[in-house]
Amino acid sequence: MDIYNGWLIVNSYYNPAKFNSLYKLLQESAEKAGLRFSKWTSDQRPTVIGSAARDPKPSFVLFWDKDIQLAKTMELSGLKLFNSAESIALADDKIETLLKLAEKGVPIPDTIPAPTCFPNCKRNPASAEQAAKILGWPLVIKENVGSFGQQVYLANNVKEAERILTHIGEHDCHFQRFIADSAGRDLRVTVVGGKVVCAMERRSQSKQQFRSNMELGGVGSARNITPYEEKIAVEAAEALGLDFAGVDILMGKEENERYVCEVNSNPQLQSTIDTCGINPATNIMWHIRSQIKSAE
Ligand X SMILES: Nc1ncnc2c1ncn2[C@@H]1O[C@H](COP(=O)(O)OP(=O)(O)O)[C@@H](O)[C@H]1O
| Site for ligand X, residues 207 to 266, rule: CB under 6 A | 210-213, 248, 250, 261-262
Q: What is the dihedral of CA 257, 268, 82, 192, to 10 degrees?
A: -50
| Shortest CB 258 distance to ligand X, Å | 12
Q: Give every CB contact of residue 295 below 8 A, 6+ residues apart in sequence.
A: 80
Site string for ligand X, 151-180 (x = CB under 6 A): -x-----------------------xxxx-
Question: Residue 152 binds which entry of ligand X, Mg ion, none, with Cβ cut-offs from 5 to 8 Å by kind?
Answer: ligand X
Residue 248 lies near Mg ion (rule: CB under 5 A): yes
Residue 273 DSSP SS3: helix
Q: How far is 280 from 287, CA to CA, in rounded Å?
A: 11
Sheet holding 219-222, edge to edge: 219-222, 195-203, 185-192, 244-251, 258-264
Nearer to ligand X, 25 or 183 (CB): 183
| Shortest CB 144 distance to Mg ion, Å | 13
Residue 130 lies near ligand X (rule: CB under 6 A): no
Distances from the Cα of 98 to the Cα of 221, 260, 283, angstroms: 26, 8, 26
Question: Residue 148 binds which entry of Mg ion, ligand X, none, with Cβ cut-offs from 5 to 8 Å by kind?
Answer: ligand X
Cis amide bond preceding 109, omega within 30? no
| Site for ligand X, residues 109 to 128, rule: CB under 6 A | 109
Q: What is the CA radius of gyration of the chain?
A: 20
Nearer to Mg ion, 70 or 198 (CB): 198
When binding is defined by CB under 6 A, the residue of 93, 186, 201, 243 that contacts ligand X is 186
Nearer to ligand X, 61 or 164 (CB): 164
Residue 142 DSSP SS3: strand
Distances from the Cα of 45 to the Cα of 25, 56, 61, 77, 94, angstroms: 22, 13, 11, 12, 28
Nearer to Mg ion, 7 or 175 (CB): 175
| Shortest CB 145 distance to ligand X, Å | 9
Size of the site for ligand X (CB under 6 A): 23
Q: How far is 123 from 167, CA to CA, in rounded Å?
A: 10
Site string for Mg ion, 256-285 (x = CB under 5 A): ------x-----------------------
Q: How far is 151 from 294, CA to CA, in rounded Å?
A: 40
Interface residues with ligand X (CB under 6 A)? 109, 140, 142, 146-149, 152, 176-179, 182-183, 186, 210-213, 248, 250, 261-262
Interface residues with Mg ion (CB under 5 A)? 248, 262
